[in-house]
Structure 1
Amino acid sequence: MSSIFEGFLSTSEVLEAFNERNFLEAMLRFEASLARAQARVGLIPEAAAQSIIGTCKVELFDVAKIVRESGRAGSIAIPLVKSLKETVGLFNKEAAGFVHFGSTSQDVIDTALALVTRNALDLIEADVGKAVTALLALARRHAADPVLARTLMQPASVISFGLKCADWAAPLVRGLQRLQLSKENALSVQLGGAVGTLAQMKGKGPAVIAHMAADLKLRAPASTWHTQRDEWVALGCELGLLVGSLGKIAKDIALMGQYEVGELAEPSEPGRGGSSAMPHKRNPVACMVALAAAQRAPQRVAALLAAMPQEHERALGNWQAELAEWPGLLMSAHGSARAMAQALPGLQVDTQRMRANLDALRAVLPLAAADEWFSPDLAQHAAELTRAHVKTLDELIQQTETNKRKAMP
């Protein structure tokens, strides 16, 4: 999934999560879990299950060959299952007939996608959490420091920089709360469907799904979701909202960091934000990454929504289009979250420049207007709002953490 242009807009961890080897490994986890569950309910012999489980090791397979063959087959699952059956058959011919029993290509791919997505979401949530922690620390520190509020890109009145930070944090906190709920609903086992494969399990399909869900630490859905993509796409929409909220913070910081404004700057360190031609420049590279993500994510989310009208019980093209968009959305989301998580804790805040910009504006206004709209004392009222705002956000964070612990399998 990597490219020369993707690498610096995402992270090595999420690129790794979606590489070919890791995805095939997740597919093999599905196949091993399926065999384990079916043996547990008496559908296949225990010896066959052990042969399948012991063979579901990605190092035993030619990943590049399987990926090449997927183009002709129309699915990565078909060459993988073929190779798995052949490999199992080398050790236990009877067991080969029980590989992928009662399952479909979409079952293994959707469940594998849920597994790698969970890993990516853990990365995203951790970095958004770091960004929130940094913002709330800034809000407390600068609760009463006056700064110009700006509407339509023009000075509007006076708030405090602490209030601005709390306002930046609020949609991230809400976004994490919604993401947690959406994740619980979306990350599910996929197995069976109207194609009749569950009928092969002689009424034991629900028990197999329950065992697999416990084994893989995924949700056991009420029904298959082959063409019911609402929960899955809802998760994508929440990611899009989170990326947009991170992009808003990045845009504000970039504007406040312009030389003519000079109120904020990203952390300074060797090799960060330099120019190939102008040594005096300090480019806001974290803001750049977050803003690039905010440009790209809406198209990814739109593609997921556009793919929802899927044909009957198995889609022709739309599901495949959805799959192709999903990794890119997660890469943008984690790139944005990581960029802000790295920049915000060391954000350089020039409160003197904030005050100087305020005083410069007051100097050219009539006294009455200056006192009514741009008195530095207005920041004291903003400080009270900031403290109340931060308290509410702290409570929401605590509630989200409590809900997360309850939801843990």
Structure 2
Amino acid sequence: MSSIFEGFLSTLEVQEAFGDRRFVAAMLRFEAALARAQARTGLIPESAAKSIIGSCKVELFDVPKLVRDSGRAGSIAVPLVRSLQDAVGLFNPAAVAHTHFGCISQDVVDTAMALVTREALNLISADVEHCIHSLLDLAERHAATPMLARTLMQPASVISFGLKCAGWAAPLVRSRQRMRQVAEQALQLQLGGAVGTLAEMQGHGPEVARLMAEDLGLRAPLGHWQTQRDEWVALGCEFGLLVGSLGKMARDMALMAQFEIAELGEAHEPGRGGSSAMPHKRNPVGAMVALAAAQRAPQRVAALMQAMTQEHERALGHWQVELAEWPQLVMSAHGSARAMAQALSGLRIDTQRMLANLDAVRTSLPADAVATWFNPQLVEHSAGLTRSQVASLRSLLDARHGVAGPGAPAPTESARHQAVAPSLVWPV
């Protein structure tokens, strides 16, 4: 699912996760799980299930043709099921009637989307985790490194760069936590049948759903969610919030990387951030990708929410809009997270320039203003806030990973800051 126009705003891994072949493979996983569950509950013969499962191999299917045919059918599931039935019929004609039994196109497509989204979510989580740890390490190292705070794009007062980093990390920690919670609900099996009742499964529907969910590693739903999109869209909203938080950090970093400010810079690497015309330029590519995502994500989230007004038991047009928007939103989220993880890995920090920018403002002000807004004690205050915030954020991360159980002793202040670099001294 790559494009010359937007491939550079995402990553190869997440593009492959939503690629045609990977999605068809996920749909076939649904069909195989359906056959296994229905055989276990006695709905279809075991011999039919074996034939269906044996045919659910993506290499047996002409994926580009399925995609072409989906335009006439209105869903990729229609030509896929037809091709699956043809494949099953070659070896076991009696099993054709049991293929895709009791379910509909939306069941297979929604479940496949949950499967590939789970894969993408793991990619996003890994890069967000990298961002968080990089920022917390920077926050500790620069807890007392003075820099100029800016409000309404103008010089304001003195803070520390460490506090800035902690402020970038905090929403990512919260977002990571919320995404995990929301994903537990959203990544669920879809199985409703024609009108959500699974009537064709003769009372075995709930057990079939339970077995399928267990097989696929998804949550077993309370019922169908064919037009109940709240939990699914809630996950989409979390992707949007994550992209916004990454975009805020990217905006700050891009401003700090301007030549006239020169407090930060992304890594200089061959082929990264160069100009086709001006050899002296160093473009902040990571910030650019994250900012582009932050411009696109709100429209994607809005489209998901607008598509929630679905008709009765099955939607006409609204669900299809959601299908088109969802991968783009998730790909933007991973592109943004990966871009900022890479930018932080090689981030160049010029503490002397931070100090020079501070002094340029400080020396131009009256003494009373300097005493109020540029007192060195304010740096120590920022350092204390930074260390407190970092400790709290690390505790949240440790609690999530089960590092420290109830009653476990907290690390001492000296132990926590043993490896922290000496802070830059800012003269009175």
State the TM-score bracket (shorter-chain normalisation). Answer: over 0.9
- SS of 2:310 mapped into structure 1: coil
SS state of the match for residue 149, structure 2?
Answer: strand
1:375 Cα deviation from its structure 2 partner: 2.6
Question: Which digits, 9 at most, give the CA deviation of each residue in 1:17-67, with x for residues without a partner?
Answer: 111111101000000000001111111111110110010000001111111
2:378 paired residue number: 378
Distance 1:374 1:198, change over 3 A: same
TM-score relative to the length of structure 2 = 0.93
Q: Deviations over 1:353-384 (max 9, x none)?
A: 00111111111100111121013331111000
Please tell me whether the aligned partners of residues 44 and 98 of structure 1 are also in contact (alpha carbons under 8 angstroms). Answer: yes
Q: Show the 5 A alignment for 1:5-404.
A: 5-193=5-193, 195=195, 198-402=198-402
**Which residue identity lines up with residue 282 of structure 2 in the other structure?**
R
Name the CA shift for 1:16/1:225 in 2 (closer, same or farther; >3 Å): same
Cα RMSD, aligned residues only: 1.1
Determine helix, strand or coil for the equivalent of 1:275. Answer: coil
Q: Is the 8 A contact 2:191 2:209 kept in 1?
A: yes
User: Take 1:223 and 1:197, find their aligned partners in 2: how far apart are those partners?
Assistant: 8
Question: For the residues of structure 1 that align with 2:66 and 2:256, how far apart are their CA atoms?
Answer: 50
Structure 2 residue aligned with 1:406: none
What SS class does the counterpart of residue 155 from structure 2 fall into?
strand
The 1:21–1:194 alpha-carbon spacing in structure 2 relative to 1, beyond 3 Å, is: closer
Write the distance in 1 (CA, Å) between the matches of 2:154 and 2:124: 34
Residue identity opposite 1:69 in structure 2:
D
- Please tell me the residue identity of whatever aligns with 2:393: L
Identity within the alignment, %: 71
Per-residue deviation, 1:194 = 6.0
- Distance in 2, matches of 1:32 and 1:234, equals 29
Runs of at least 5 residues in structure 1 that lack an aligned partner in the other structure: 404-409
| TM-score normalized by the length of structure 1 | 0.97
Q: Deviations over 1:291-326 (max 9, x none)?
A: 000000000000000000000000000000000000
Q: CA deviation at 1:197?
A: 6.1
190-199 vs 114-123, greater mean Cα deviation: 190-199
* Residues 72-125 of structure 1: CA deviation (Å, up to 9, x unaligned): 111110000001001100010111111000110000000000000000000000
What residue in structure 2 maps to residue 407 of structure 1? none
Deviation at 1:400, TM superposition (A): 2.8
Q: Is the 8 A contact 1:24 1:63 kept in 2?
A: yes
Q: Are 2:226 and 2:313, in contact at CA under 8 Å, matched by a contact in 1? A: yes
Matched letter for residue 277 of structure 1: A
CA distance in 1, matches of 2:195, 2:39: 22
State whether residues 104 and 197 of structure 1, in contact with CA within 8 Å, keep that contact through their aligned partners in structure 2: no
Decide whether the 8 Å contact of 2:307 with 2:322 is kept in 1.
Answer: yes
Pairs aligned (count)? 403
Q: Which amino acid aligns with 1:249?
A: M
2:198 counterpart SS class: helix
